[in-house]
C-alpha cells in the first residue's frame, strides 16, 4: 500500500513524488497518458525571475526557488544518471529607450533583494554576453539569476530518479487509493471548478519551436514577449504563444511560423538555423495566476497541487517540498498567495 497517490506526472506531480520518495514515503504515481504528456513536455524551459521591484511573498518565494534550483536538479541528475539540461547562464532582455531609467532603478533594487546571489545589469547591446541581438534602443538588461532547463530531459531525469527510488509510474485510468494529490494540469482545474461550482482556472495553449544551433553556454534571450533559450543538446527553443481560445490542444499552426520569424529578426544568428521540431500544449492557469495548493474542499484526504502556468518548472522543486510537508507530516507552510481558496 502506498502512503501517497499522486495523480498526474507533469512537473508538479513528478517533483512531489521525488520529494516524498526521498523522505522514505511509499509513493504511487498515476498518469493517464505518459509522463510530461501535457504542458510539461514542451521545449523552452526558461526559469526566469519577476522584476526586482514591488517585492511580495510570491516574488520572494520565486527568488528562493531559483536560488535552490541548481542543487535540486544536481540531485536528480546524480540519482537518475540523466542530465535534466539545467544551467544558470542568465538572461538578456532588450530594453526600450523610455525604460532605461526604470532598468537602472531595478538594478539597484536587485542589489538589495537578490542578496548578492545574482545581478541585474544595464549594458550596451554590443557588450551583452551570448548571441548578438537587435535592441531598438541599443541597450539591454542582463541578469544572472535566470536559468534554463530542458523540459523533456528534466521530466525523463525525474522519472529515472523515481525508478531508482522504487516509484513506479502507472499509466491509464487507475483510480487513486488513500491520501491523494491531484496534479492533473488544466483538466484538473476544470474538474476542480465543476466540483466547487466556481471558476478556479483554465487552460492556456502555448506553441514553441526548436531550431538547430549549437550555443550551449549562451544566456537565454527575452524580447517582445518571446523566449529564445539555447540548450546543451545543440538546439535553441523559441516560444511561446499564449492562446486563451483553441480547438485542438496539441496542434501546431502558423503561430509557430510567426514565432520563428520574430526570433530571427531579434537574433540574426538564427536566420539560417533549420527547424527541428514543433510543440503545442495547454498550461494550467489558475484564476489567481499563482499556483494552487492545499486540501481539496469537501474531499477528506485529497489535495490539489496545480496551476504552474509559465513558472511551473522554476517553482516546482520548492513548492513540492512544501506540499510534501503537508501531505506527509501535516505541516502547513503554504504561502498565502498560493493557498487554495474558494470565494
Judged on CB neighbours under 10 Å (0-12, 13-18, 19+), 300 is exposed
Q: Are 31 and 46 in contact (CB under 8 A)?
A: no
Dihedral Cα 116, 121, 127, 132, nearest 10 deg: 100
Whether the pLDDT of residue 1 is over 70: the answer is: no
Name which of 48-62, 148-162, 182-196, 261-275 the model is least confident about: 48-62
Query: What are the counts of helices (DSSP H) followed by strands (DSSP E) for the chain?
Result: 7, 16
What integer pLDDT is reported at residue 342 of this predicted model? 78
Q: pLDDT, tens digit, for every residue of 17-45? A: 999 999 999 999 999 999 999 899 999 99
Q: Are 282 and 185 in contact (CB under 8 A)?
A: yes
3-state SS, residue 188: helix
What integer pLDDT is reported at residue 177 of this predicted model? 87
CA-to-CA distance for 332 and 329, rounded, in angstroms? 9
Q: pLDDT, tens digit, for every residue of 155-178? A: 999 999 999 999 989 999 888 889
CA-to-CA distance for 231 and 153, rounded, in angstroms? 11
Whether the pLDDT of residue 341 is over 60: the answer is: yes
Domain ranges of the chain: 4-338
Is it true that domain 4-338 has CATH number 3.40.109.10? no
Q: What is the strand order of the sheet 220-223 is part of?
A: 120-124, 139-143, 91-95, 220-223, 226-230, 235-239, 201-212, 275-286
Of 12, 9, 87, which Cα lies nearest the Cα of 45?
Answer: 87
Q: pLDDT, tens digit, for every residue of 76-112? A: 999 999 999 999 999 999 999 999 999 999 999 999 9
Identify the band that residue 300 occupies on the pLDDT scale cut at 50, 70 and 90.
very high
Q: pLDDT, tens digit, for every residue of 200-241? A: 999 999 999 999 999 999 999 999 999 999 999 999 999 989
What integer pLDDT is reported at residue 58 of this predicted model? 86
Amino acid at each position: 500500500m502506498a502512503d501517497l497517490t499522486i495523480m498526474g506526472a507533469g512537473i508538479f506531480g513528478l517533483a512531489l513524488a521525488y520529494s516524498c520518495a526521498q523522505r522514505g514515503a511509499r509513493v504511487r504515481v498515476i498518469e493517464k497518458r505518459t509522463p510530461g504528456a501535457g504542458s510539461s513536455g514542451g521545449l523552452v524551459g526558461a526559469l526566469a525571475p519577476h522584476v526586482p521591484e514591488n517585492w511580495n511573498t510570491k516574488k520572494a518565494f520565486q527568488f528562493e526557488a531559483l536560488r535552490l534550483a541548481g542543487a535540486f536538479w544536481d540531485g536528480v541528475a546524480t540519482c537518475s544518471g540523466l542530465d535534466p539540461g539545467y544551467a544558470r547562464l542568465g538572461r538578456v532582455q532588450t530594453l526600450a529607450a523610455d525604460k532605461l531609467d526604470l532598468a537602472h532603478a531595478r538594478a539597484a533594487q536587485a542589489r538589495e533583494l537578490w542578496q548578492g546571489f545574482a545581478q541585474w545589469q544595464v549594458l550596451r547591446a554590443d557588450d551583452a554576453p551570448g548571441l548578438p541581438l537587435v535592441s531598438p534602443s541599443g541597450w539591454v538588461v542582463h541578469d544572472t539569476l535566470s536559468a534554463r532547463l530542458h523540459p523533456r530531459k528534466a521530466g525523463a531525469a525525474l522519472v529515472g530518479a523515481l525508478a531508482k527510488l522504487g516509484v513506479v509510474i502507472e499509466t491509464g485510468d487507475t483510480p487513486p487509493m488513500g491520501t491523494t494529490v491531484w496534479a492533473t494540469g488544466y483538466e484538473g482545474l476544470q474538474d476542480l471548478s465543476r466540483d466547487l461550482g466556481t471558476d478556479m482556472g483554465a487552460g492556456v495553449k502555448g506553441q514553441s519551436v526548436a531550431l538547430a544551433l549549437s550555443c550551449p553556454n549562451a544566456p537565454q534571450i527575452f524580447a517582445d514577449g518571446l523566449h529564445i533559450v539555447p540548450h546543451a543538446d545543440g538546439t535553441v527553443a523559441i516560444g511561446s504563444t499564449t492562446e486563451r481560445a483553441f480547438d485542438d490542444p496539441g496542434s501546431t499552426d502558423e503561430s509557430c511560423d510567426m514565432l520563428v520569424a520574430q526570433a530571427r529578426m531579434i537574433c540574426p544568428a538564427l536566420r539560417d538555423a533549420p527547424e527541428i521540431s514543433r510543440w503545442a500544449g495547454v498550461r494550467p492557469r489558475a484564476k489567481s495566476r499563482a499556483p494552487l495548493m492545499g486540501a481539496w474542499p469537501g474531499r477528506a484526504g485529497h489535495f490539489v497541487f496545480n496551476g504552474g502556468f509559465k513558472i511551473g518548472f522554476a517553482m516546482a522543486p520548492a513548492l513540492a517540498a512544501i506540499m510534501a510537508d503537508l501531505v506527509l507530516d501535516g505541516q502547513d507552510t503554504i504561502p498565502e498567495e498560493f493557498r487554495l481558496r474558494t470565494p
